[in-house]
């Protein structure tokens, strides 16, 4: 290992690389990590010296707060390599902003841009050989922060660890996705943490999702917990509905994540002349639109899957199949967005940022 | 370190002890741990060999699921040493049952009794010198389970770690506790995980609690998230209200933890001839009772604090102070319960279990 210093980040290079053992054509999402990671600890009320170092396990005390009281947040981002070997990020400021919004809600310290952004850029440059060219190849980026203070008392931690991991990725979802509309379980409370990208929100979804899986549904469409009448998210993604030629999606709220892909698709759809309505969408409306043939599409939107078309939904034991259509908004939007991300289409929005 | 085998548990004894460095009269809650811990891993669909070993940090991968998707649950229990040096647990079956209920809700494997109970008993016997005699001295017990599978994909983990830590304790809360009734923030959703002892529930409370602290309130009384009209929990405890001579507490639900101290106090109060009503208690009812002088007491109930009297509450910017009364139910119940726990009063309920 050799140690160098770039700006304020200490860089400890791995003496070996795992890259030759990786089959880049057959990657399981989130399973393989690059040679290095970025790390910065928060102690004594301030962020300590940031470091890039070989990806490796670290020592942790059994009483560490994240295990007991769950202060843990993350982001999902992607980097892309174009045909000129330039590396691009997609709207990284949006993820940075949301990360710190999550931090505030979870009583964790905000991460300065100099740490988050410079750490990310430096790490991507160091492990750039892991970012493969060609559409469909991406580098999934996982910034996260955990409470590392010790002691089993239910108070906010006074120590934290911020890390960035890199995981080369192909597509996230595969196969046909049928969804079950939640009538009992919920993912978020009014005045809760549903709009934060907090670890605990995900664990809470696993059991209801497992129940749906057993009934043959890959995901759950979450509804508002008070009335179960409003359609809010699909699995871990925001959700869009196309009724006739209008695209509908719920407004962001305390219960709904302010998804970067969501807001991107809204702008992209509008730029194509598609009518977009951001308003509460009711379960009953969806059922009626399906019955009278005006429901054309449902799709999830998120960083990992980009756009995830849904083929049908179940509500109160009745399964509603979606029509197979030409000119799918989901596929058009996905194609356009991934082309922008991979620098294969003009980025008239200024969304892509060079590393 | 010496290795022995008791029943199915491997025991690796520490070659040293930290006990002489501990000031047992001045313990911060949850900060000091005994020489050993109990550990059992879940891998390949089954629980592996349980082990008791020296308390120490362990190695963990940065992509470990608990950091990213929050599968983490715990219990809080206590052990007591009587004047004959016998060690006692209080209703351990209740904690064991609730732990596995939490496990199911968080899509984690249930822990067999042979692991949970035998591990706990063996660990208490090994570190018995750390359990001090005398009322007020207790051994706080922290069983917990975390997802230890790796990979940043939002699915349930296939590997888990179950551990038990022991932390000698004095009292948990100190000083006067004033509470703020939540009108915006919430701790649990309908159909959510509020009744599970999941790590993420606690992190979600820190930010609203910090805001209350800044206004001079030590805790928040949580209300139902849909209407904010029903009084549900106080801080991390169940909550009781005394109006005239009737004790009121909310029924357990998906949003409210089925507290062992809560159910114990209900039975204890009834045995003393106190009228207990388990029903939704409204914020408006509390305000009116305070105004007309019938509100006598509010107190929290939980394992750590046992009973935590509250001196006043704030609702919509108005502070309602509670009267100072003789014959406080809170103090009577706390005295009786701690006497049973410490074997200083007859345990007519059969709640105490010898280790």
Total count of domains within chain B: 2
* Residue B183 sits in the same domain as residue B100: no
Would B214 be classed as within a structural domain?
yes
| Distance between CA atoms of residues A84 and A82, nearest Å | 5
Q: Which residue, among A186, A191, A211, would best test binding to B if mutated, counting the most B CBs under 10 Å from its CB?
A: A191
* Residue A143 sits in the same domain as residue A19: yes
* Residue A120 sits in the same domain as residue A264: no
Q: Which residues of A205-305 form beta strands (DSSP E)?
A: 219-223, 230-234, 237-243, 246-249, 275-278, 281-282, 295-302
* Residue B109 sits in the same domain as residue B183: no
- Per-residue pLDDT averaged across B161-174, rounded? 88
Average pLDDT, chain A: 95
Would B190 be classed as within a structural domain?
yes
CB-closest option in A63, A155, A189 to B225: A189
Using pLDDT thresholds of 50, 70 and 90, give the confidence band for residue B304: confident
Using pLDDT thresholds of 50, 70 and 90, give the confidence band for residue A174: low
* Res. B265: pLDDT tops 90: yes
What per-residue confidence (pLDDT) applies to A3?
A: 45
* Res. A5: pLDDT tops 50: no
Which of A122, A168, A179 is closest to A312 using CA atoms? A179
User: Which of chain B's residues have a Cβ under 8 Å away from the Cβ of A58?
Assistant: 59-60, 62
* Res. A1: pLDDT tops 70: no
| Distance between CA atoms of residues B122 and B161, nearest Å | 18
Q: Which residue, among B152, B205, B227, would best test binding to A if mutated, counting the most A CBs under 10 Å from its CB?
A: B152
Would B114 be classed as within a structural domain?
yes
What per-residue confidence (pLDDT) applies to A173?
A: 60
Q: C-alpha distances in angstroms, A272 versus A10, A186, A333?
A: 46, 34, 9
* Res. B72: pLDDT tops 70: yes
Q: A293 to chain B nearest CA, in Å?
A: 32
Instruction: Please give the radius of gyration of chain A, using alpha carbons only, rounded to the nearest integer.
Output: 21
Instruction: Nearest chain B residue to A149 by CA: give it.
Output: B31
* Residue B15 sits in the same domain as residue B144: yes
Would B348 be classed as within a structural domain?
no
Other beta carbons within 10 angstroms of residue B95's beta carbon come to: 23
Would B355 be classed as within a structural domain?
no
Distance of CA A347 to the CA centre of its chain: 21
Would A222 be classed as within a structural domain?
yes
Give the pLDDT confidence of B4-55 residue by residue, as tens digits: 544 589 999 999 999 999 999 999 999 999 999 999 999 999 999 999 999 9
User: Which of chain A's residues have a Cβ under 8 Å away from the Cβ of B73?
Assistant: none
Q: Using an 8 Å Cβ cutoff, are B225 and A189 in contact? A: yes
- Per-residue pLDDT averaged across A224-231, rounded? 96
What per-residue confidence (pLDDT) applies to A175?
A: 74
* Res. B175: pLDDT tops 80: no
* Residue B201 sits in the same domain as residue B158: no
What are the residues whose beta carbons fall under 8 Å from the beta carbon of A209, sequence distance 6 or more? A219, A220, A235
| Distance between CA atoms of residues B122 and B145, nearest Å | 18
* Residue A269 sits in the same domain as residue A291: yes
**% of chain A exceeding 90 in pLDDT:** 94
> Strand pairing partners for B168?
B139
- Per-residue pLDDT averaged across B334-345, rounded? 95
What per-residue confidence (pLDDT) applies to B4?
A: 53
Using pLDDT thresholds of 50, 70 and 90, give the confidence band for residue A176: confident
CB-closest option in B104, B163, B184 to A191: B184
Which of A202, A187, A315, A316 is closest to A250 using CA atoms? A187
Cβ-based contacts under 8 A for chains A and B: 231
Q: B316 to chain A nearest CA, in Å?
A: 16
CB-closest option in B72, B156, B189 to A192: B189
Q: What is the CATH number of the domain that holds B122?
A: 3.30.470.10
* Residue B210 sits in the same domain as residue B165: no
Would A203 be classed as within a structural domain?
yes
The answer to whether the Cβ–Cβ distance between A62 and B74 falls below 8 Å is: no
SS (H, E, C) B261-284: HHHHHHHHHHHCCCEEEECCEEHH
Q: C-alpha distances in angstroms, B209 versus A129, A147, A255?
A: 46, 17, 19
* Residue B156 sits in the same domain as residue B259: no
What per-residue confidence (pLDDT) applies to B8?
A: 87
Q: CA torsion angle for B185, B188, B191, B196 (degrees, to 10)?
A: 170
Would A41 be classed as within a structural domain?
yes
* Residue A84 sits in the same domain as residue A115: yes
CB-closest option in B72, B155, B192 to A67: B72
The answer to whether the Cβ–Cβ distance between B107 and A185 falls below 8 Å is: no
| Distance between CA atoms of residues A188 and B312, nearest Å | 30
SS (H, E, C) A167-180: EEECCCCCCCCEEE
The answer to whether the Cβ–Cβ distance between A203 and B70 falls below 8 Å is: yes
Other beta carbons within 10 angstroms of residue A316's beta carbon come to: 8
| Domain boundary, last residue among A120, A149, A169 | A169
User: Which of chain B's residues have a Cβ under 8 Å away from the Cβ of A199?
Assistant: 66-70, 200
Q: What is the CATH number of the domain that holds A237?
A: 3.20.10.10
Other beta carbons within 10 angstroms of residue A291's beta carbon come to: 11
The answer to whether the Cβ–Cβ distance between B225 and A192 falls below 8 Å is: yes
The answer to whether the Cβ–Cβ distance between B107 and A37 falls below 8 Å is: no
* Residue B161 sits in the same domain as residue B221: no
| Domain boundary, last residue among B126, B149, B169 | B169
- Per-residue pLDDT averaged across A25-45, rounded? 96
Instruction: Give the structural domain span for A55.
Output: 2-169
* Residue B116 sits in the same domain as residue B205: no
Instruction: Nearest chain A residue to B210 by CA: give it.
Output: A107
Average pLDDT, chain B: 95
What per-residue confidence (pLDDT) applies to A322?
A: 97
Instruction: Nearest chain A residue to B187 by CA: give it.
Output: A192
Give the pLDDT confidence of A90-142 residue by residue, as tens digits: 999 999 999 999 999 999 999 999 999 999 999 999 999 999 999 889 999 99
| Domain boundary, last residue among B132, B147, B169 | B169
């Amino acid at each position: 290992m050799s140690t160098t210093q770039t700006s304020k980040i200490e860089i400890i290079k791995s003496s070996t690389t795992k890259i030759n053992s990786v089959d880049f054509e057959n990657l399981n999402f989130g399973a393989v990590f690059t040679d290095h990671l970025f790390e910065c600890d928060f102690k004594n009320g301030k962020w300590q010296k940031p470091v890039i170092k070989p990806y490796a396990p670290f020592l942790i005390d059994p009483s560490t707060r994240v295990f007991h009281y769950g202060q843990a947040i993350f982001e999902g981002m992607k980097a892309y390599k174009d045909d000129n070997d330039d590396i691009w990020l997609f709207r990284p400021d949006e993820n940075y902003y949301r990360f710190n919004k999550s931090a505030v809600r979870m009583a964790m310290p905000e991460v300065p841009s100099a740490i988050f952004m410079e750490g990310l850029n430096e790490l991507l440059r160091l492990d750039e050989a892991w970012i493969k060219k060609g559409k469909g190849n991406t580098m999934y980026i996982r910034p996260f922060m955990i409470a590392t203070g010790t002691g089993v008392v239910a108070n906010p931690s006074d120590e934290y660890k911020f890390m960035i991991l890199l995981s080369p990725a192909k597509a996230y979802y595969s196969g046909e996705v049928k969804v079950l509309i939640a009538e009992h379980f919920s993912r978020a409370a009014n005045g809760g943490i549903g709009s934060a990208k907090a670890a605990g929100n995900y664990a809470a979804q696993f059991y209801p999702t497992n129940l749906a899986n057993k009934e043959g549904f890959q995901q759950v469409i979450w509804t508002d917990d008070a009335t179960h009448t409003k359609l809010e998210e699909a699995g871990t993604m925001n959700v869009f509905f196309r009724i006739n030629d209008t695209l509908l999606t719920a407004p962001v709220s305390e219960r709904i994540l302010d998804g970067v892909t969501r807001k991107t698709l809204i702008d992209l759809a509008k730029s194509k002349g598609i009518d977009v309505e951001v308003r509460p969408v009711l379960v009953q409306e969806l059922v009626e639109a399906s019955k009278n043939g005006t429901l054309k599409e449902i799709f999830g939107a998120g960083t990992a899957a980009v756009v995830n078309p849904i083929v049908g939904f179940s509500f109160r034991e009745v399964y509603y199949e979606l029509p197979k259509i030409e000119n799918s908004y989901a596929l058009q939007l996905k194609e356009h967005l991934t082309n922008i991300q991979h620098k294969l289409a003009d980025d008239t929005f200024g969304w892509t940022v060079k590393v």
